[in-house]
Structure 1
Amino acid sequence: MRSDPTPRSRPAWLADAILYQIYPQSFADSDGDGIGDLNGITERLGHLSWLGVNTIWINPCFASPFRDAGYDVSDYLSIAPRYGTADDLARLVETARHHGIRVLLDLVAGHTSDEHPWFTASANDPSDHRYIWADTDEPPRGFVPSPGGRNGAYLPNFFPTQPALNFGYARMAPSEPWRQPVDADGPRANRAALREIMDHWLRLGIAGFRVDMASSLVKDDPGFRETSLLWKELRAWLDRAHPDAVLLSEWGDPAVSVPAGFHGDFFLHFGGDGDGLALRSLWNNHGGIDMEHWKAVDCFFDAEGKGSPRPFVQAWLEAMETIGDAGHIALPTSNHDFSRLGCGPRTPEELPAAFALLLTWPTLPAIYYGDEIGMRYVPGLPDKEGSVIGFAGPDYNRAGSRTPMQWDSGPNAGFSTAPADRLYLPIDPDPSRPTVEGQRADPGSLLNLVRRLIALRASSPELGAGAEVRILHDGFPFTYVRGDRYLVVINPRRRAAAFKPARKPGRGAIGTGRLVEGRGVTLTGDGVEAEGFSYAIVDLDG
């Protein structure tokens, strides 16, 4: 049995992080081959600095055959040529540092590509236990037949081309003799390899990792006990070797992942006792798609007012009760795996209220590239590098959230100089698509609002991740006070709403104060009246 090391350090900078996720294939193409790259990101750091972003997370940029858009790694220590070189990454990290921006990489910890040298060696060596092999004539359920000289079959972690690394099983089973304990040679070697990979890139200057499928490592692990011990072991090493670095998990359950050793975790469309209810009940970015795996729920950000903020608030409260000040919850607008904030019937006029909540709620805000200008989920695209995932429904294509960044009104929206038919994915064909250039020139744009909200949060400790929140009304309009100073009112439905508190919300009466940001909200002296799609942030000391 392994020991249960207790994580010690928590980098102070993370509490003030404004996260921005970059899908590198689609952000900016510097060399005209139609695919975004690291130098393209470097060239666009000025936009992120202007916006106020201070932490970027880049989806996997390592060598890969790209059957799952880079989440099938064939060499953890090499940059994929399509993105550039290790020198390009070093230049990006250094330039970002001068802009006050930290860089996080995406660590695929639980599996590799079936083209990784580790796997090709293991597929021909029965004594190699870096992966999970069943030496049987017929592949057990879920296993894939061996592609090499080795008899039997291997266990994949997601797609068949992504063999699961062997971190052991929490429980043995006589009917499955291929199961190995977590302290066997293969699992020990893989844990050591994770340390080596992280150490390699941290020494280059990156600030940490977002860890893909972080809960998937130890198999048949009730309550994730052994998986948690694994991550605590790695966190204890990280605290000693790189105390200013952070680990954020793709777990979707902060109440489990933060005690397991992560500095933070994302509310996601899956995970937790409510199967992702925290995020889906907030904005449910399903885009009208019938997803079998992630069923649609009525969400608070629904124009007809079908949902409520209560499920989100309850999930947040329950998670915070468990994690306390040990780590953070990150709240994303969307990501590369589910539809954008601008999807389905949701219109541009509904987005400002969403960002008002995102940047005033006590979580780490995480903006998916392009959401700051209201880029939309684009339906009807072809399968691209494994973008279609059948278990979530036959129509669920992640490519719709991965289209090129819309920089300007020029060819290919300023993303690339390549011919349109050579682009990684097509540009959104909507002639009214938003652009950074157009919105920077418009003081009333979503982009300029997001910039002002980020600046307000950065200058106001009362709006930070650790400051107090008091909920005055958990209906329409959603009304709360941050740090006993800022009154926030959010009405994401089409119909107007009003609220009169039974007592004063804190310093200053609810009818007094200075409007910092907002539209359509009136303070009446004894309450608030909110028009449809309205929001307000009021300085009660103002």
Structure 2
Amino acid sequence: MVGTEWVRDAVLYQVYPQSFADGNGDGTGDFAGLTDRLEYLRWLGVDAVWLNPCFVSPFGDAGYDVADFLGTAPRYGTAEELAKFTDAARGAGIRVLLDLVAGHTSDRHPWFARSADDPSDHRYIWADRPAPGYVASPGSRPGWYKPNFFDFQPALNFGHARTDPDEPWRLPVDAEGPRANRAALREIMAHWFALGVSGFRVDMASSLVKDDPGFVETGRLWRETRAWLDAEHPDRAILAEWGDPARSVPMGFHGDFFLQFGGPEDGAPLRSLWDNGAGTVHEHWPAEPCFFDAEGRGSMRRFLAEWERARAGTAGAGAAFLPTANHDYSRLATGPRTREQLAAAFAFQLTWPTAPAIYYGDEIGMRYVPGLPDTEGSALGPRYNRAGCRTPMQWDATPGAGFSDAPAERFYLPLDPSPDRPDVAAQRADENSLLHHVRRLIALRRAHPALGPDGPVEVLHDGYPLTYLRGDLLVVVNPRRAPAGLPVERELPGRLLAGQGVSMTHSVLRAEGFSWAVFAR
């Protein structure tokens, strides 16, 4: 495809590199393992892969504390091995995106070490007196620095939208330090573009300019970055971790994700869709019924309202990605949700007019594993431990699950201990498996452009069963345990293309529990 049109039609697959495939037998995933597993990604049908950070890091926050943006972490391999992977992926029709931690570095980055000893360096935000949320200087420089998340992640200085004479450290966005950081973003991206990378997912994309009401200056920064991309690298893309496509796409991003946070209701629309264990895993969010709940107590209305807002806000200029899960929140298979419920969730995700993002392992029903140790900053509260969604990919039924030949005690994280844990090999051999279901849905989406992000949609029923038209195709999804029915009051497509448990007569549509179907005329 010309330019970045590929983004809108992408089926994105997120890989947590530590946990995907170990090519050198040390217990941690790496670039060699990724290259070895490209055949699987090509077979599945995805055409873009996003890797979580793989740069040099002390790994206090699993790589989101970067100590060198231009070097790869030795645990993964060399830059040449990453380039080998991107080349091989491109040959398989798969683009590779990296994770750009744009707003902060590790406190072990040479930039910060220099800034902590040089009062004239304004690459970071330094206050001359204690201030809420600031951390005391670790160097000879007096003062306090502003972190972005953990204390060891000092915020890069992109300026403040509002200055204050009582707080002289609030530099304007065009000061020397902020200008240097904007230039560094472009240098970092260009460096990896030269090694075959097709784009970046930008971590905490809204966090750069501080005290920025309405994100006016942050938007100006990203629109300038987009203009540079369009001029110098017109086929490369940037996706935002913002959680608000209606806001971020007009600011210059090629896409953004519906997330558990962000948007006008602090992420409630996505949590109301499939929750991902928010009430039990994230103690700051209340438990609430979600639509993809076996008891059928949820509602689609909040998600649909946010999706309508996103579609109007992006206006064909970018993609709104709908993820199954990600590295920060629980998987689709969390808590009481069983594997038989997952087929309906994927049927919706891969036929709704958004761009799908599949978190590694969700396509086989890997579960969130509770009770794991805090690993590289994974625990963010007594019940909120991200390690449970970062466990090794389950490739086969061998003791190491095909992830690694290392002893189990050397694995980056323990394997799911369940004796019936799913794996790729078993599901590839079973035509009725969840994996084949996901693969067929991806192929169906490719074969019928009406199922893509730009095709029309008409919601006929927003309850159980969820029923909507995509052009000449009818999609029915019943994610609850109980059967559901719907009167047929008009002529509808009635030739079954794919699905299970849904039947239709001239007067009624019936959907068994955990069923789905796509009909054509």
Matches within 5 A, 1:461-500: 461-483=449-471, 485-500=472-487
Task: Name which of 241, 259, 274 aligns with 2:232.
Answer: 241
User: Residues 499 and 515 of structure 2 are in contact (CA less than 8 Å); yes or no, is this contact kept in structure 1?
Assistant: yes
Residue 409 of structure 1 pairs with residue 397 of structure 2: yes
Task: Name which of 490, 513, 521 aligns with 1:532.
Answer: 513
1:185-230 CA-to-partner distances (Å, cap 9, x unmatched) read 0000000000000011011111100000000000011111110000
Task: Name which of 404, 420, 423 aligns with 2:411.
Answer: 423
Task: Name which of 488, 496, 509 aligns with 1:515.
Answer: 496
Cα distance, 1:369 vs structure 2? 0.2
SS where residue 259 of structure 1 aligns? helix
Unaligned runs of 5+ in 2: none
Q: TM-score, normalised by structure 2?
A: 0.98
SS where residue 251 of structure 2 aligns? coil
Structure 2: which amino acid aligns with 1:525? H
User: Residues 271 and 278 of structure 2 are in contact (CA less than 8 Å); yes or no, is this contact kept in structure 1?
Assistant: no
SS where residue 281 of structure 1 aligns? helix
Cα distance, 1:134 vs structure 2? 0.7
Q: TM-score, normalised by structure 1?
A: 0.95
CA distance in 1, matches of 2:224, 2:284: 32
SS where residue 211 of structure 1 aligns? strand
Identical aligned residues as a percent:
65
SS where residue 273 of structure 2 aligns? coil
CA distance in 2, matches of 1:432, 1:174: 63
User: Residues 35 and 423 of structure 1 are in contact (CA less than 8 Å); yes or no, is this contact kept in structure 2?
Assistant: yes
Matches within 5 A, 1:284-323: 284-286=275-277, 288-289=279-280, 291-323=282-314
Task: Name which of 370, 375, 380 aligns with 1:384.
Answer: 375
1:9-66 CA-to-partner distances (Å, cap 9, x unmatched) read 9611112200000000000000010000011001000000000010000000000000
Residue 349 of structure 1 pairs with residue 337 of structure 2: no
Structure 2: which amino acid aligns with 1:54? D
Cα distance, 1:286 vs structure 2? 1.5
SS where residue 289 of structure 1 aligns? helix
**Equivalent residue, structure 2, for 1:207:** 198
CA distance in 2, matches of 1:287, 1:122: 39
Residue 113 of structure 1 pairs with residue 106 of structure 2: yes
Cα distance, 1:297 vs structure 2? 2.6
- Please say which of residues 149-158 and 527-536 is displaced more in the overlay: 527-536
Task: Name which of 91, 94, 102 aligns with 2:95.
Answer: 102
**Equivalent residue, structure 2, for 1:336:** 327
Task: Name which of 67, 73, 76 aligns with 1:74.
Answer: 67
1:419-463 CA-to-partner distances (Å, cap 9, x unmatched) read 000000000000000000000000000000000000110111111
User: Residues 288 and 344 of structure 1 are in contact (CA less than 8 Å); yes or no, is this contact kept in structure 2?
Assistant: no
**Equivalent residue, structure 2, for 1:122:** 115
Cα distance, 1:490 vs structure 2? 0.6
User: Residues 281 and 308 of structure 1 are in contact (CA less than 8 Å); yes or no, is this contact kept in structure 2?
Assistant: yes
CA distance in 1, matches of 2:297, 2:188: 46
CA distance in 1, matches of 2:285, 2:174: 35
Structure 2: which amino acid aligns with 1:123? A
**Equivalent residue, structure 1, for 2:244:** 253
**Equivalent residue, structure 2, for 1:140:** 131
User: Residues 257 and 265 of structure 1 are in contact (CA less than 8 Å); yes or no, is this contact kept in structure 2?
Assistant: yes
CA distance in 2, matches of 1:294, 1:221: 26
Unaligned runs of 5+ in 1: 1-8
Matches within 5 A, 1:353-364: 353-364=344-355
Cα distance, 1:239 vs structure 2? 0.4
SS where residue 282 of structure 1 aligns? helix
Runs of 4+ that moved beyond 4 A: none
Cα distance, 1:287 vs structure 2? 6.0
SS where residue 280 of structure 2 aligns? coil
CA distance in 2, matches of 1:246, 1:295: 35
Cα distance, 1:296 vs structure 2? 2.8
CA distance in 1, matches of 2:225, 2:262: 22
**Equivalent residue, structure 2, for 1:52:** 45
User: Residues 68 and 385 of structure 1 are in contact (CA less than 8 Å); yes or no, is this contact kept in structure 2?
Assistant: yes
